[in-house]
Amino acid sequence: MRAIVQNGYGTADVLRMTEIEPPAIKADEVLVRVHAAGVDRGTWLLMTGQPYAVRLGLGLRGPRDRVAGMDVAGTVVEVGAAVTRFAVGDDVFGTARGSFAELAAARQNTLALKPATLSYEEAAVVAVSGVTALQALRDVGRVRAGQHVLVIGASGGVGTYAVQLAKAFGAEVTGVCSTEKVDLVRSLGSDHVIDYRTADFGTGGHRYDLILDIGGDSSLTRLRRALTPRGTLVIVGGSLDGKWLGLGRQARAVALSLFVRQRLTMVIAKQRHPDMETLAELIGTGRVAPVVEATYPLADAPEAVRHVGAGKTRGKVAIRV
């Protein structure tokens, strides 16, 4: 089968398309014929091998799992002996080992049935970013109807889901983005949009019950000034202040939270099928929709990853297999 593989860490130049053997599946896994894959910033970070601590789990000199990609949408072509949730022929979406390939192995508890209303490309960009946004808002942020929610990084992969989900939960939402993405964030249902190039969310006098800071670099002092006295800050994604652990700001936030009334925390998302089924239901009712900026053919996957790594994506990027 055709697949995008990497033998070492580095820029998108380490990715190349080649022919390899299809993956073998375990008892609790299914084999998916991949129709589309999603590109998330995590894929870019895994490609670079940063923060360096991730190499302890992935492989010191290069990834043990050579095929890139996590987000997937496709059709089940084989099921393991312990699989009970899917049958051959089911259209599914979720995460898999090495989705930048014609075939990928996936655990049954990281997949859900694909909503019929979505194309494969749309379904392929839901799991990683959508589940992260859902868990950040609902599980960690404990969002409630009527709250004022600030989403910093509202135009990116996680941010576009976070804006829509916060609205679905009944919150009043303010999105922060760059000038050229204001219209996009407003179209997602954001009640207010702050262009960070012309305004500062921390100096307008408004206070928020919940702030999601997605891959940002604002100081904790600045973020706390924008919170209500008992508000919650959820940091999503790694810090920009360290290549070794990538969690410096998160660690400081959690430590500081012990001494202040505000709740300062972070999210480490876990892929689980009930959350993907929740997203599928919200998508089916029209309250949430994937935002796909561009679709690349499999051969151009390195360019797709390079584009996402540049940090200028409007929503998500998909790969057609």
Give DSSP secondary structure letters for 10-64: SSGGGEEEEE-PPPPP-TTEEEEEEEEEEE-HHHHHHHHT-SGGGHHHH-SSS-S
Per-residue model confidence (pLDDT) at position 203: 83
pTM (2 decimals)?
0.93
Q: What DSSP element (H or E) covers 278?
A: helix 273-284
Per-residue model confidence (pLDDT) at position 73: 98
Q: 245-275: per-residue pLDDT in tens?
A: 556 778 888 888 889 999 999 998 999 999 9
**Residues belonging to the chain:** 321
Per-residue model confidence (pLDDT) at position 56: 65
Per-residue model confidence (pLDDT) at position 212: 98
Per-residue model confidence (pLDDT) at position 116: 93
77, amino acid identity: V
Per-residue model confidence (pLDDT) at position 41: 84
Per-residue model confidence (pLDDT) at position 142: 98
Per-residue model confidence (pLDDT) at position 312: 82
**Residue 268 gets which letter from DSSP?**
-
**Residue 76 gets which letter from DSSP?**
E
User: Which residues in the chain land under pLDDT 70?
Assistant: 51, 53-60, 238-247
Average pLDDT, rounded, for the chain: 92
